Structure 1
Amino acid sequence: MRNFHFAGRSTVHAQNAMVATSHPEAALAAIEVMREGGTAADAAVAACALLGVIEPQSTGIGGDCFALIQPRGEGKIIAYNGSGRAPMAATADWYLERKIHSVPLTSAHAVSIPGAIDAWDVILRDHGKFGFDRLLQPAIKAAEEGYVVAPRIAFDWKNGFEKLKNGTNTERYLLPHGKPAVAGDVIRQPELGETLRAIAQKGRDAFYSGEIAADMVDTLRRIGGLHTLEDFAAHSTETTSPIGTMYKGYDVWQCPPNGPGITMLVMLNILSRFDLTQFKPLSIERFHLEAEAARIAYMMREQHIGDPQQVHVDVAGILSKEFADEHIKNIRMDRLLDLPNVAPPMNPSTVYITVVDKDRNACSFINSIAHSFGSAIVSDKTGILLQNRAGGFRIQPGHPNCIAPGKRPLHTIIPALATKNGRAVMPYGVMGGQYQPVGQTHVLTNILDYGCDVQEAIDMPRGLHYEGVYQLEDSVPAEIVEGLKKIGHKTVRVVPPLGGGQAIWIDWDKGTLTGGSDPRKDGCALGY
């Protein structure tokens, strides 16, 4: 139970419906949709479209979307893969002939076809009651009439200033008065508002064909891109089944590759073989084991995961007991495993939204433009900030994640869903680039091993072992930092906090919902 003598957040409780997002305005928009009779899917799309305007560093219609939805919280879970593909002209040979050995993150080559709008359309077709004409209205209003910049968004805006100064059309669209926006500023984006109006009126085709698509293609080709109108017109969302594993009696579900959710599942398989409860939640041992599990899982991901539509990914083998056993036997508490240094191509930003409606439809929903402010390329006339998700490709023939025509890159965004006996218990996610599998594992083990409520689990100090260094938040106690160093970890204090997260716990017996939202962001949980 929370000690009310100390600063913190209470969990949010409701009977009917609940949402948690990274911005209060988005949470409110979702609640208003559900009060009007909309579903969890309707609420998620409305919230996400609004976030694409008011949290531009993290998300937008120029990005990608993944979701897990369990209708009425029971039975079959549907996974939606709304990740975009490389242009059909993007061959590894094309880049290598030009001596390009990695995708420049602020170039047109980093822009894969944005998948979010089509994913929203498919999700609403399957699970929604409303259409874009209703659900995009809060986003349209914010773009045209203006929105007030929140503190965390201002923090990211300041950190992205140099990137935006050197981008394509970013000074015009995202640097009002030539300076980064600060908390309390009012920002208007009328061109983006007009684009959203067109999508609201004409649907997803307005984005993938016609004037809007032509403007994106023209912008990208002018700065060296290989994109064509045919690439945009051919885009589609994949609807599939999730992959999962069991931890402490709960089934944990993720979208399959090219999503990286399998990374988190491998971490759980490894940690399930240790009794974490013999260590304190804030302890050297717990942080060490989490880091070792992450190092193994991330190594696996970088070596074996790509787009299964173009390469073979042995999901069953990777999630097998034998795979975990092979690595667990080498873990020691007094030193680090001797593993190759893993250096993923990117560490992007994201927004995550969790929604449960009055019918207990559970929606775990994530949307991203990859790095903060994406590619720093804004389409000439439409105001669309384009993602740099293709920066996640390797240019390495034979590698499962090597760029290829029409291929989807290895992603970072992962919505999660925990169930028990077939029923949804917790749709949740932890955003924040490469941190996401670690963050989801950290939050889940905080709840299932240490008895935290959803807010306590999200609040807990965090660390990420990344590129050979253990990045630790300021809230990690000094004695833990020193203990990790003695074991052999190289540690560093991370500048921005690690990610952000949202969770909703469903209590079927009481008929209640409990929500939590990360203080590392501006958002909140709301219910009614």
Structure 2
Amino acid sequence: MGLTICAVSVCSISAHAFDRITGEPFATRSEVIAQNGMAATSQPLATQVALDVLKNGGNAIDAAIAANAMLGLVEPTGCGIGGDLFAIVWDAETKKLYGLNASGRSPQSLTMAHFKEKGLDKIPKFGPLPVSVPGAVDGWFMLNERFGSKSMQELLSPSIKYAREGFPLSELIAYYFERNQLRIGDYPGFAETFTVNAKTPKKGEIFKNPALANTYEKIATGGRDAFYKGDIARTIGAFMKEQGGFLSYEDMAAHYSEWVEPVSSNYRGYDVWELPPNGQGIAALQILNVLELYDLEGMGRDSAEFVHTFVEAKKLAFEDRAKFYADPDFNNIPVDFLISKEYAKERQKLISPEQAAKRVDAGKNEGDTIYLTVADSAGNMISLIQSNYRGMGSGMIPTDLGFVLQNRGEMFALQEGHFNMYAPGKRPFHTIIPAFVTRNNEPLMSFGVMGGGTQPQMHAQIIVNMIDFGMNLQEAGDAPRILHSGSSTPEGDLMTDGGYVSLESGFSYKTRRELMKKGHVLRDVSGAFGGYQAILYDSKNQVYYGASESRKDGQAAGF
């Protein structure tokens, strides 16, 4: 009897939080509400660092940089200064959105000929070949110079202190450390940097990274050139040469980030903003444009009709993603065409209400991550995402620097004529995307959902959850999610047999059964549904609402 009661209880809790007094039964907690400032990150220590910066007179952009630096220490399994960065900033003074693309380019000395000589039809996941220039540090300085109010010394100080003195590891990050050791643990520098007594640190164990503290100190005192033109860049170049890689000092010294114009589509009266390619943000807009043509509220969220419609819209967007999304410096990418309402109406005609598509073609024009968001008392808001790709990245850990170089170059295609075909000095297709929502030209919501190709699907679901299904900020993130996998990829792989659909617990058996009748293949997956953080501004009451991912270690907090 005891075992039976326990089993029922555990199943109920895993699917729904039935003991909730208010709100949706699946919600894990209430939203956080505060007047003066709000921060939502994937690690509580990073959130606290952000709040400390705000309380000490810094603005949202200052706090985001400090939090990102902290996340590079406490969550190196998803981010760090060996990776890239993207951000959308709402500047309260100019009342305008600004986009930052701080992604790095491929090595100038690595050409397609090398891959052909090696007989490769794909770029390897790990090792020296997928390494591209890390853009995050330059992104910090671009943000700081344009919008910041505090010095980089002050913003990096908390992370330097924690890196030297150590911090207790959370259960989830300890798990990811162990997983990453299986992938890259044999590469030089992993044991010295990321193990304690030759083992990956366990939950509650104090982890230190003095090498990263030294690197942060050099950046804090020497500026961005200390990273891209100083000893750090020389160390990276020499290490990569030793490992048979191509990333050089010259590649580091030539790096630059770019301010870009965010792009948007209006969804039922709300302007949803993303960054243009080389990222995948406009896929979320393409999905929403198709979904806007349906009465989703009438369908109901736990219905085969809604899930089917969502999945089919996603398939259409992701075929365009595979064909068109790439570095705009190398291609004329038809962004306006792809996110137009007219194009969505044409694409919608391809969706059968009764049958899952086994294959769709792209239209014709005539990748683990962290996400954080911060808002301040002046009304500034920032949506920032940063990543190594594939957890800890390439496995290339430059000598005594304390971080891993990204493997984002894996996303290049090796097919001649592909928009995302590899070329020297080119930015690869990117999965990491920040998002923002405005209404009547006023800031409403800053949000993101980390997790590779999951991201545009979840961006669209968050918007639909709130606008069509009336959920609040926390409920929208806690609601059970839909994930379609198996579409064509920017590396040139084709979707086969329609891919498969994964549903989190909370969708009924009836919905699952009806989806299978429509021809969908259902497959259970674990840990693939992303990680959500969000801040919403309530202009009527002049307060911020914060929400954080229940599937990760995140924390939303304000004051």
Name the TM tier (shorter chain).
over 0.9
Give the match for residue 191 of structure 2: 171
CA drift at 1:90: 2.2
Give the match for residue 58 of structure 1: 78
Aligned-partner Cα distance in 2 for 1:22–1:13: 18
How many positions carry a matched residue from both structures? 523
CA drift at 1:74: 6.5
Does 2:466 correspond to 1:444?
no
SS of 2:289's equivalent in the other structure is helix
- The amino acid of 1:459's aligned partner reads D
Does 2:360 correspond to 1:379?
no
**Given that residues 242 and 255 in structure 1 are in contact (C-alpha distance below 8 angstroms), is that contact kept between their aligned partners in structure 2?**
yes
Give the match for residue 351 of structure 2: 331
SS of 1:504's equivalent in the other structure is strand
- Residue of structure 2 aligned with 1:496, choices 503, 520, 527: 527
Aligned-partner Cα distance in 2 for 1:189–1:411: 28
CA drift at 1:56: 0.6
Give the match for residue 478 of structure 1: 509
CA drift at 1:463: 2.2
Provide, for residues 323-346 of structure 1, a one-character-per-residue CA deviation record: whole Å limited to 9, x for no partner: 21222012122211242599xxxx
Does 2:447 correspond to 1:428?
yes
**Given that residues 316 and 361 in structure 2 are in contact (C-alpha distance below 8 angstroms), is that contact kept between their aligned partners in structure 1?**
no
- The amino acid of 1:408's aligned partner reads R
Aligned-partner Cα distance in 1 for 2:302–2:237: 50
Aligned-partner Cα distance in 2 for 1:256–1:341: 21
Q: For structure 1, list consecutive stretches of 5 or more residues without a partner in the other structure.
A: 343-347
Q: For structure 2, list consecutive stretches of 5 or more residues without a partner in the other structure.
A: 1-17, 487-498
Aligned-partner Cα distance in 1 for 2:328–2:460: 24
Does 2:17 correspond to 1:33?
no
**Given that residues 316 and 360 in structure 2 are in contact (C-alpha distance below 8 angstroms), is that contact kept between their aligned partners in structure 1?**
no
Provide, for residues 452-502 of structure 1, a one-character-per-residue CA deviation record: whole Å limited to 9, x for no partner: 111000001112111112133344433332222221111111121411001
CA drift at 1:70: 1.2
Provide, for residues 372-428 of structure 1, a one-character-per-residue CA deviation record: whole Å limited to 9, x for no partner: 111122111212211111111111121110111110001001100000011110011
CA drift at 1:80: 0.1
Does 2:98 correspond to 1:67?
no
- Structure 1 pair 151/476, CA: closer, same or farther in 2 (3 Å)? farther
**Given that residues 42 and 135 in structure 1 are in contact (C-alpha distance below 8 angstroms), is that contact kept between their aligned partners in structure 2?**
yes
Does 2:212 correspond to 1:192?
yes
- Residue of structure 1 aligned with 2:246, choices 226, 230, 233: 226
Give the match for residue 249 of structure 1: 269
- Residue of structure 2 aligned with 1:390, choices 397, 402, 409: 409
**Given that residues 264 and 437 in structure 1 are in contact (C-alpha distance below 8 angstroms), is that contact kept between their aligned partners in structure 2?**
yes
Aligned-partner Cα distance in 1 for 2:400–2:379: 41
Give the match for residue 301 of structure 1: 321
Aligned-partner Cα distance in 2 for 1:197–1:229: 20
Give the match for residue 500 of structure 2: 469
Aligned-partner Cα distance in 2 for 1:283–1:219: 54
Equivalent residue runs for 1:208-227 within 5 Å:
208-227=228-247
Give the match for residue 349 of structure 1: 368
**Given that residues 454 and 528 in structure 2 are in contact (C-alpha distance below 8 angstroms), is that contact kept between their aligned partners in structure 1?**
no
Give the match for residue 3 of structure 1: 20
Give the match for residue 18 of structure 1: 38
- Structure 1 pair 497/479, CA: closer, same or farther in 2 (3 Å)? farther
- The amino acid of 2:203's aligned partner reads A
CA drift at 1:93: 2.4
- Structure 1 pair 378/476, CA: closer, same or farther in 2 (3 Å)? farther
Give the match for residue 147 of structure 1: 167
Provide, for residues 83-105 of structure 1, a one-character-per-residue CA deviation record: whole Å limited to 9, x for no partner: 01001122222211321221111
CA drift at 1:166: 2.8
Aligned-partner Cα distance in 1 for 2:473–2:377: 20
- The amino acid of 1:34's aligned partner reads L
Aligned structure 1 segments of 4 or more residues deviating by more than 4 angstroms: none
Provide, for residues 123-146 of structure 1, a one-character-per-residue CA deviation record: whole Å limited to 9, x for no partner: 111110012101111211121111
Q: TM-score, normalised by structure 1?
A: 0.96
Does 2:551 correspond to 1:520?
yes
**Given that residues 538 and 544 in structure 2 are in contact (C-alpha distance below 8 angstroms), is that contact kept between their aligned partners in structure 1?**
yes
- Residue range with higher mean Cα deviation, 174-183 or 25-34: 174-183
- The amino acid of 1:372's aligned partner reads G
- Residue of structure 2 aligned with 1:506, choices 537, 551, 554: 537
Aligned-partner Cα distance in 1 for 2:509–2:418: 40
**Given that residues 463 and 473 in structure 1 are in contact (C-alpha distance below 8 angstroms), is that contact kept between their aligned partners in structure 2?**
yes
Who wins on radius of gyration, i.e. which is larger?
2
Q: Matched residues, percent identical? A: 38
Give the match for residue 322 of structure 1: 342
Aligned-partner Cα distance in 1 for 2:142–2:466: 33
- Structure 1 pair 112/364, CA: closer, same or farther in 2 (3 Å)? same
SS of 1:77's equivalent in the other structure is strand
**Given that residues 501 and 522 in structure 2 are in contact (C-alpha distance below 8 angstroms), is that contact kept between their aligned partners in structure 1?**
yes
- Residue range with higher mean Cα deviation, 156-165 or 310-319: 156-165
Aligned-partner Cα distance in 2 for 1:356–1:2: 31
